[in-house]
Amino acid sequence: MSARKRISAEKRKEARKEVSFAVLKNVPSSPRKMRYVADMIRGMEVFKALGVLKFSNKEASAKVEKLLLSAISNWEQKNDRKAETGELFIKTISVDEGTTLKRLRTAPQGRGHRIRKRSNHVTIVVDRINKEEQEQN
């Protein structure tokens, strides 16, 4: 590894230490369905987002709810205290495409149609709402 790459890798590593996040990989649902749930809670306060996810009818919402609880727990672990209501919000939530399993379904007249079983990766980053105000004081 060259010096330039090592320096930039160390900078990325240091930046990740200050951020609390959680990653869920290889979720067996299409990224399109997961993005619908992610768009519902993007930018919300975390406890409000948990309420929205709890009463959503989407199957993906249960997985995102569990991931959000993990992100909150990670934040609490890094800061050595419990999160209070109105303190944390979802800074970013991203849904990326994972691996696609390619399968065949039988079709009429001896043919076969391709079935694509998609998966996705979800990343949630949580942060404090008034972080800028705390740094100035």
Is the whole-model pTM more than 0.75?
Answer: yes
61-75 pLDDT tens trace: 999 999 999 999 999
Q: Specify the CATH number of the domain 20-130.
A: 3.90.470.10
In the chain the first and final C-alpha atoms are separated, in Å, by 40
pLDDT tier at 132 (50, 70, 90 boundaries)?
A: low
Q: What sections of 19-127 are H helices per DSSP?
A: 31-41, 46-54, 59-79
Contact 74, 21 (CB under 8 A): yes
- The structural domains of the chain, with segments of one domain joined by +, span 20-130
Q: Average of pLDDT values for 16-31?
A: 92
**Backbone phi and psi for residue 121, each to the nearest 5 degrees, phi listed first:** -120, 135
